Amino acid sequence: MNQQDSTKHRSFKVLAVAVWRKFKSLLIIHDDTDIEATIASIQRSVEFRGVNLWILFFAVIIASIGLNVNSTAVIIGAMLISPLMGPINGIGLAVGTFDMKLLQRSFRNLAIMVVISLFASTVYFVLSPLSDAQSELLARTRPTIFDVLIATFGGLAGIVAASRKEQPFTVISGVAIATALMPPLCTAGFGLATLQFNYFFGAFYLFFINSFFIALATFLMVRYLKFPINKFVDPKREKIVKRSIMFFTILVMVPSLFTAISVVRESAFNSQVIKFVNDLQRNEVLKDSQIISYDKIYDKKSPTLTLTIIGNEVSPAMVDTLRQVMVNDYSLASTQLRVRQTSHIITGGDQADVLAGLLVDREQQIRDKDVEIQQLKDSIQMSSSAKYAEISRTIGEKYHSSIEEISISDNAYFNSRTKKMQEIPTIYIKWYNGTTNATVRTELSTWVPVLLGVDEVRIVSE
């Protein structure tokens, strides 16, 4: 190496060191850490009585209503006011600082919060006239690897923000929304209320995953920021406490790791199956045949992929080839491949038979859909009838001195001028002595539309 090359090498090394030092300086978060205030804040948030109890109850009801009516905004509001993060952060802090008393208090209060949340949400869904599982509710019944990542990085962001001297409120609020602790608990309550235990276990499983990885993130950041470890006067007691904490940590961590591994494997399975099917369709591997749908079922021992194919018949040899491709190129070694063929198209008169069969299948599907639609309509009608009955009872009790009988129903009105048909709630009233009370009529026409969420009601006197 000549002198010029040596000079360039030293210059590059000096530049690299300078860049690395600058980069490290950007990552430093110890200087702005307020350890004492953070510990005091988390210890306060662990407490569960008085205000926290009321806030939790209100948050549960709000979240349950949001899930019930499929309102994302309402669910977000419930997550913002929920105090569930306190005990979970307390667990992470206690493990990180070997504080046995804080750990016991955090576990106890978290258990109480969970019981109260399940009780309140279960009671709400038992009393609610809306019993259908909406999309917001269904989204909380099955955890994925993304939930693990959100809980972990959300927990890291939360403890970093909480440990600052000037805590950024937007970060803490965002963490409360992202980590989503309240909706899974309310969904578990829905599962108990409707006796759908697959919903209960799936949602509670999601809550457990979120809680564990938030606590784990808190523990990791507490150790990284070098929070002081709890000191004991008695060395023997110190050893017992540390061993107890490590034992409980391992007791919780081992099942959670298996849980995380299971979630990762299922996510990988779903991803590879989608890629495999998309590649089959894109590369036209199945000539003169088409994949019209596919079903994937993940099972630890024997996951299954079922392809529904239309077109020329796929031979058993081709199915074996597809299975080998699936195993070798897509890491789906234990997956069973099944092919469901709705028909086979060859030539001539066979096509007419096949098309006739397809039409029969399509008509059957339409009939099945009509049955489902009618069931949904019946369910909605039952909900409307129950609501109208309750409002009729309220009106009758409020104006009992003027109204003898009252009923509400939806009626279809046709406007001959505009040629439009409109369905309008109609109130039928039988007045005492046949005399209409104009004041009552005006009040009903004002507040009943607001109560029903419609623009107009019609009032018919008898």
Give which of 346, 345, 322, 341 is closest to 332, Cα–Cα.
322
Give the whole-angstrom CA distance, residue 95 versus residue 215.
9
Backbone angles phi, psi at 202, to 5 degrees: -65, -45
Q: Indicate whether 171 belongs to any domain.
A: yes
Would you say how long the chain is, in residues?
A: 462
Adjacent-strand bridge partners of 411: 424
Whole-structure pTM over 0.75, yes or no?
no
Q: Indicate whether 161 belongs to any domain.
A: yes
Among residues 200, 230, 260, which one ends one of the domains? 230
Q: Total domain count for the chain?
A: 3
Q: Judge if 18 and 46 occupy the same domain.
A: no
Q: Judge if 146 and 211 occupy the same domain.
A: yes
Give which of 132, 88, 94, 128 is closest to 110, Cα–Cα.
88
CB 145 within 8 A of CB 263: yes
User: Could you give the strand order of the β-sheet that contains 420-431, starting from the edge strand earlier in sequence?
Assistant: 403-415, 420-431, 458-461
Buried-exposed string 208-221: b where 16+ CB fall within 10 A, e elsewhere: bbbbbbbbbbbbbb
Q: Indicate whether 280 belongs to any domain.
A: no
CB 294 within 8 A of CB 280: no
> Both tokens of residue 432?
């005492």
Alpha carbon separation from 462 to 400, 412, 426, 431, 446 (Å, rounded): 16, 19, 13, 7, 20
Q: Indicate whether 289 belongs to any domain.
A: no
Q: Indicate whether 18 belongs to any domain.
A: yes
Q: Judge if 185 and 63 occupy the same domain.
A: yes
> What pLDDT does 344 receive?
44
CB 156 within 8 A of CB 217: yes
Q: Judge if 7 and 69 occupy the same domain.
A: no
Q: Judge if 131 and 164 occupy the same domain.
A: yes
DSSP per position, 282-297: HHT-STTEEEEEEEEE
CATH code, 453: 3.30.300
Q: Judge if 93 and 40 occupy the same domain.
A: yes
Give the whole-angstrom CA distance, residue 461 versus residue 447.
18
Q: Judge if 6 and 57 occupy the same domain.
A: no
Q: Indicate whether 47 belongs to any domain.
A: yes
Give the whole-angstrom CA distance, residue 54 versus residue 116.
11
Per-residue pLDDT of the chain (462 residues; tens, 9 = 90+): 555 556 656 666 767 777 777 666 666 666 667 778 888 888 888 887 778 888 888 888 888 888 888 777 787 777 777 778 888 888 888 888 878 788 888 888 889 889 998 999 899 888 887 666 666 666 666 666 677 777 778 878 877 777 776 655 555 566 666 566 788 888 888 888 888 888 888 888 888 888 888 888 888 888 888 888 777 656 776 677 667 767 766 766 666 667 667 777 777 888 888 888 888 877 666 666 777 778 888 777 778 888 887 777 777 778 888 888 888 888 787 788 888 776 543 333 444 444 455 555 666 666 666 666 665 555 555 556 777 777 888 888 778 788 888 888 888 888 888 778 888 888 888 888 777 778 888 888 887 887 777 788 888 887
> What pLDDT does 350 receive?
43
CATH code, 48: 1.20.1080
> What pLDDT does 349 receive?
40
Q: Indicate whether 310 belongs to any domain.
A: no
Q: Judge if 13 and 142 occupy the same domain.
A: no
Residues spanned by the domain of 77? 32-230
Q: Judge if 80 and 21 occupy the same domain.
A: no
Q: Indicate whether 352 belongs to any domain.
A: no
Q: Judge if 104 and 216 occupy the same domain.
A: yes
Q: Judge if 86 and 120 occupy the same domain.
A: yes
> What pLDDT does 57 receive?
87
Adjacent-strand bridge partners of 422: 413
Q: Which residues contact 184 (CB under 8 A, 6 or more apart)?
A: 140, 203, 204, 206, 207, 210
CB 332 within 8 A of CB 273: yes
Q: Judge if 22 and 99 occupy the same domain.
A: no
> What pLDDT does 372 receive?
67
Backbone angles phi, psi at 430, to 5 degrees: -105, 110
